[in-house]
Amino acid sequence: MPDAQTAEREITYAEAVREALSQAMEADERVFLLGEDIGVYGGAFGVTGDLYHRFGPERVIDTPISELGIAGTAVGAAITGMRPVLEFQFSDFIMLAMEQIVNQAAKIRFMFGGKATVPMVVRMPGGSGTGAAAQHSQSLEAWFAHVPGLKVVQPATPYDAKGLLLAAIDDPNPVLFFEHKLLYKTKGIVPAAPYRVPLGSAVVRRLGSAAPVVATSIMVTRTLAAADALAGEGIDVEVIDLRSLRPIDKPTLIESVQKTGRLLVVYEGVQTLGIGAEISAIIAESEAFDFLDAPIRRLGGRDTPLPYNPILEKAAVPQTDDITAILRALVAGG
């Protein structure tokens, strides 16, 4: 009989996040959760579930409606040796806590010469697709990947959601953990035992000899669907899940471009000054540049606030058909 801790089982992305939180809290009494409605209510998207009833109100803390206060509490607790994991109901709300996250959490270790660390995790549901309109549907991860001192991750699968979250909680630095709202109900194989996925490591989701696609979060799922569709046309697309925006796994990107001679970057955030520009620059400044047979292409969100209308909302961010079309053109030399 297989061991219960190693046997394969399928759970949702949300369940994987909850399991990581539970196992971290069981293993280390310094780990605690704080955020709006994460306790009795179980979280805005139900992710924290029954953790309040399992660990009590001192370790699963329902906070007042003040993102700045929540972040400041987490920074202070982390400096004094705790391991806080805070949740913002929507990633958009992090803007209310920019001072504590960008000016304090990101800089304290540097300004104190390493004598103080800020081991905190900020969990946030992000992205479009739920009809939540312009103030609740943004993809802001590139903002924070620009800030030295912060680590930024975007798990695309239940397996990575658990492994990256446990690694983030272990990390002595502040980690911003973006969870796409549309991924919460997706299922995947997740071991029951604790495990870690290293921060800063990309993974090749699909090997191919044609143009590689570097994708993040929900775009990994859509890119894999596009790759499956193109396989019927004899176009063998390679798909790389970036997983971490800071640090970025440069060697994996460079190796793939050297093999295929092309590159497409797909992400949900606004295309202008987004993660695609940085990845393009990494390749242009590396030894992979001489291997390019076609210009690097980007496919990001449109330069517009996210519409409420569901048809317009879908049109504002890349969909599978958009990815399929640009890949077909890229491979053809366009």
Which residues of the chain form beta strands (DSSP E)?
A: 10-12, 31-35, 60-62, 83-87, 121-126, 151-153, 175-180, 187-189, 203-206, 212-215, 238-241, 244-246, 264-270, 297-301
- 65: DSSP letter: S
Closest CA to 231 of 239, 220, 221, 240: 239
Which residues of 109-263 form beta strands (DSSP E)?
A: 121-126, 151-153, 175-180, 187-189, 203-206, 212-215, 238-241, 244-246
Q: Mind spelling out the 3-state secondary structure of 236-301?
A: CCEEEECCEEECCCHHHHHHHHHHHCCCEEEEEEECCCCHHHHHHHHHHCCHHHHHCCCCCEEEEE
- 63: DSSP letter: P
Q: Is 146 a catalytic residue?
A: no
Instruction: For 202, list phi and psi in degrees, rounded to 5.
Output: -80, 170
Strand partners, 297: 264
Distance, in Å, from the CA atom of 163 to the CA atom of 195, rounded to the nearest integer, reads 6
264-270 vs 151-153, strand pairing mode: unpaired
Residue 293 contacts residue 262 (beta carbons within 8 Å): yes
Residue 267 contacts residue 297 (beta carbons within 8 Å): no
Among residues 53, 136, 146, 180, which one is catalytic?
A: 136
175-180 vs 151-153, strand pairing mode: parallel
Q: Which residues are catalytic?
A: 136
